[in-house]
Structure 1
Amino acid sequence: MKAILNILFLSVGILANAQPAFYNQGNIRIHENGQIGFHTDLINDGVFDENLGLAGFYGNEFRDIFGAFPPTFFDVEYDTRIGTTLNTTVNVVNNVNFIDGNVFSPRIQSGIALNFLENAFYTGEGDFNKVDGYASINGQQNFTFPVGDFEQLRPLILTSSGINTLAKCAYFAENPNNPPSLDNGFDTTRKASNIGVISPVEFWRLEGEVPSTISISWNERSAMAALTDDVSTIIPVGFSKSTNQWISLGVTGQAGDLSQGFVTSAEFIPDNFRAITFAGAGEPVELLNLDNYLVSANGDGINDFLEIAELEQSPNNELFIYDRFGVKVFEQVNYTNEFKGFANTGDFVIQREKGLPSGVYFYVVSMKDVGLDFQGFFYLTR
């Protein structure tokens, strides 16, 4: 969604820091195909909903959104380079387009968030274009929260057993023992006996009352080698509200190495936990490593599809492919070289008809005839 705005409604209010602002005390509505651009702050003390057009926030300085009432936009885009700060929740009906700059919300207060309503989605997310703080959803069952810290996108993938009336998530690149963003910590020495070393560098907070699974990913900054020397022992753990200790959230999927990978939990209720992160476990998951591959899906007849020769030994097999964040993008029962760079599953894949983007992908294979599971990764290029 390109930012082409010809209409700028500007009224000036004075904040405590003497910055100009668009100040709404009445009733504003953006009609279908209408566009409004904010090159200043927004104070919404009136009605600003039932919109059908585009609202954009632009400039090379911070943009702040204040007010007694949350504005509700149909489409909204953020192109502010330094960032946009939410001092009140912003609701989105359709699409958020992250162009340049993070959207900040206070981590100490989960009640302020970039809130995605029933059919809302987003595009353009990246390390410097995301929610630095809380994102939330209303009326959605499955969602990838585009959250992270100032430097990196660190999404959490939520897959729920039913519709979430409300779910919220934020990422913290902080030691859970004494996080500076919060009033209380989560003592990593308080843990169940089957849990090893717990990550001292990062955690997520997730709220929701519907039984769900999550997928979270790690990278080199996660320092997984400090937790374990065996990637198969990495598990997701949560700080239980009832027992006041870290417990395992179970593992239903895992792939990667110590420098990058992801893990998927068993089903749990997010509201039962105060924080979620990684830990090393005592017993390894029974996964063996196959080769790593190159898939160049350009139609030149060379490496155009993912070929795993070992599957000839097990016609009764299952193959799953995940992107680097743990989103499942392909699955096939009795795989025989069907993957050619296109997704066949995943609610979170955008523009699937154009093919998956170049990058690292993980695969997990279950060879049922021989009773073995394998994992590895491949690089997709076009």
Structure 2
Amino acid sequence: MDKTTLLIICLISKIMIAQQAFHNFGDIQIHDQGKIGFHIDVINDGDFDQNLGFAGFYNPDGDLTVTGDNRPVFHDMEIDVSDDLFLEVAVGVNNFQEFVNGRVQTPRDRRNVSLDYINDAPYLGENDDRYVDGYASINGLLDFTFPIGDDFRLRPMSIDNEAAANTAKGAYYFENPNTPNFFATNFDTNNFSDVLFGVSSFEFWDLDGDIETRVTLTWDDNSNIPTLVDNLEDLRVVGWDRNLEQWVNLGNTSFSGDLDNGEITSQSIIPDDYVVLTFGTSNRILDGELQIFSAVSPNGDNFNDTFIIQGIAQFPDNELSIFNRWGVQVYNKKGYDNSWAGISDGRATIAKGEELPAGTYYYVLKINGQKDRAGYLYINR
């Protein structure tokens, strides 16, 4: 669209256009087919939310700011501001928004100030130099990808359709979650549930919403995904649980890309249950399945000294039985806890407390409500 300064507006009450700012004190409207170009700051202390036309923000040599007591809402909106458009009050768009030049900056310590996409309003033109640096929100019923980023990096986050019916809001932080700048607490990346191996210390997202949704996070070469996993099948979305105050596994229902660029989708979650989200790793449990290590070498080197069933702590109502090659039970424990080191419990020819000989054994793992798992294990001495 041409950068016209044509004003086709309805002036219902007093408007003062000062040299440094367009200041609305009353009730104004951009009518259908009307266009307005703002080349100076905007202060909205009146009503400016029934617009049907086009509004553009333009400054080829500096920044612009939108302030005031009330949120302006534009029908179509274009942003072409070389040194960024700064929002000190929320701004809404209900039909279409285009990034042409510069970012939209919102104050990260005031989450009520955001660029608001209303009724599934789409956008265009986002890239590593043009995005929302801070918080964006969505109200609607369709899938939505937040055009958010930080440190001149677009890092989108997506949610499922209908997840924004009560408005969802999100932001991306290129910060260490152990030392966040805009949160009242730290998110210790060494404090995670036992189904996880590790949590990223490079970045995180904030997603607010009360409707169940899957969440898709994206990564690039600055995410350092190879420090977490060698195989993307082991990558997980993780969230800082608001009640447990630790990182928990939110799953990996799908992924695409490679270790330098890609995206991953979580299982369905309620965003408000988690303060922030990021990447983690878990090759102990793959999509809810236990990983059972079939070798035991109790030689004191702290590697496979016991029979390890990764993730068993998530199923305390379990029972493990181990049999020798003649079918004689040599071990049984309800609530198995990865503690068996190849010692007889006295139910075979080997006396209780004595080492079982090297060889092949057979295990049966029972978990309440699940199909029994069985297989072979080998004791190596």
Q: What TM-score results when the alignment is normalised by the length of structure 2?
A: 0.70
Structure 2 match to 1:5: 4
1:324-339 → structure 2 map (5 Å cutoff): none
Superposition RMSD on alpha carbons, in Å? 1.8
1:180-219 → structure 2 map (5 Å cutoff): 180-219=181-220
- Counterpart Cα distance in 2 of 1:173 and 1:89: 23
Q: 1:45-104 CA deviation, whole Å, 9 max, x = no partner? A: 001021111111100211110010000100111000110011011011101111000001
Give SS of 2:211's match: coil
Structure 2 match to 1:256: 257
Structure 1 match to 2:351: none
Shift, 1:151, TM fit:
0.9
For the Cα contact (< 8 Å) 2:225–2:260, is it kept in 1?
yes
Q: CA separation of 1:180/1:141 partners in 2, compared to 1, >3 Å: closer, same or farther?
A: same
For the Cα contact (< 8 Å) 2:164–2:209, is it kept in 1?
no
- Counterpart Cα distance in 1 of 2:225 and 2:4: 45
For the Cα contact (< 8 Å) 1:88–1:113, is it kept in 2?
yes
Structure 1 match to 2:27: 27
Q: Partner letter of residue 46 of structure 1?
A: G
Structure 1 match to 2:172: 171
Give SS of 1:232's match: helix
For the Cα contact (< 8 Å) 1:22–1:41, is it kept in 2?
yes
Give the number of aligned pairs.
Answer: 280
Give SS of 2:169's match: strand
Give SS of 1:212's match: coil
Give SS of 1:204's match: strand
Shift, 1:141, TM fit:
3.9
- Counterpart Cα distance in 2 of 1:230 and 1:284: 14
For the Cα contact (< 8 Å) 1:3–1:56, is it kept in 2?
no
Shift, 1:228, TM fit:
2.1
- Counterpart Cα distance in 2 of 1:135 and 1:204: 12
Identical-residue share of aligned pairs (%): 38
Q: Which has the higher contact order (CA 8 A, sep 6+)?
A: 1
Shift, 1:231, TM fit:
2.5
- Counterpart Cα distance in 1 of 2:195 and 2:208: 25
Shift, 1:250, TM fit:
1.2
Structure 2 match to 1:129: 130
For the Cα contact (< 8 Å) 1:164–1:208, is it kept in 2?
no
Shift, 1:5, TM fit:
1.1
- Counterpart Cα distance in 2 of 1:93 and 1:268: 27
- Counterpart Cα distance in 1 of 2:152 and 2:63: 17
More deviation, 63-72/277-286? 277-286
Shift, 1:11, TM fit:
4.4
For the Cα contact (< 8 Å) 2:98–2:125, is it kept in 1?
yes
For the Cα contact (< 8 Å) 2:163–2:209, is it kept in 1?
no
Q: What TM-score results when the alignment is normalised by the length of structure 1?
A: 0.70
Structure 2 match to 1:113: 114
Structure 2 match to 1:246: 247
1:155-166 → structure 2 map (5 Å cutoff): 155-160=156-161, 164-166=165-167
- Counterpart Cα distance in 1 of 2:148 and 2:210: 20
Gaps of 5+ in 2: 10-14, 288-381
For the Cα contact (< 8 Å) 2:138–2:164, is it kept in 1?
no
- Counterpart Cα distance in 2 of 1:150 and 1:25: 36
For the Cα contact (< 8 Å) 2:3–2:56, is it kept in 1?
no
1:304-319 → structure 2 map (5 Å cutoff): none
Gaps of 5+ in 1: 15-19, 287-382
For the Cα contact (< 8 Å) 1:107–1:182, is it kept in 2?
no
Q: CA separation of 1:259/1:78 partners in 2, compared to 1, >3 Å: closer, same or farther?
A: same
- Counterpart Cα distance in 1 of 2:92 and 2:278: 28
Q: Partner letter of residue 44 of structure 1?
A: N
